[in-house]
Amino acid sequence: MGRRPRPPDFDAREHLLDVAIALFSERGIANTTVAQIAAASGVTSAMVHYWFQTREKLLDAVVEEKLAVAFGAIWAPVDTEHGEPLALTQGIVQRMFDVTEKMPWLPSLWLREIINEGGLLRERAFRHIPLQKVAAFAQNIARSRASGELNPQLEPLLVFNSILALVILPQATAKIWQRVNPGFSFDRATLERHVVGLLMHGMSGKPAQAAAAPARRAKRKTS
pLDDT digits (tens, 9 = 90+) for 102-139: 999 999 999 999 999 999 999 999 999 999 999 999 99
Distance CA 78, CA 75 (A): 5
- What is the separation of C-alpha 194 from the centre of its chain, rounded to a whole number of angstroms? 16
The torsion angles phi and psi of 204, rounded to 5 degrees, stand at -65, 140
Single out the residue of 155, 115, 159 nearest to residue 134, CA to CA: 159
Q: What does the alpha-carbon distance between residue 191 and residue 8 come to, in Å, rounded to a whole number?
A: 38
Write the CB contacts of 206 (distance below 8 Å, at least 6 apart in sequence): none
Are 10-53 and 61-213 the same fold in CATH? Answer: no
**pLDDT, tens only, 4-45:** 445 555 699 999 999 999 999 999 999 999 999 999 999 999
Domain 10-53 of CATH type 1.10.10.60: yes
What is the crossing angle of helices 12-27 and 34-41, to 10°? Answer: 120
- Exposed/middle/buried for residue 195 (C-beta within 10 Å: 0-12, 13-18, 19+): buried
Q: Which CATH architecture has domain 61-213?
A: Orthogonal Bundle (1.10)
CA atoms of 58 and 113, how far apart (whole Å): 14
Total-model pTM = 0.86
pLDDT in tens, 143-190: 999 999 999 999 999 999 999 999 999 999 988 888 888 888 779 999
Domain ranges of the chain: 10-53, 61-213
Residue 151: how many CB atoms within 10 A of its CB? 20
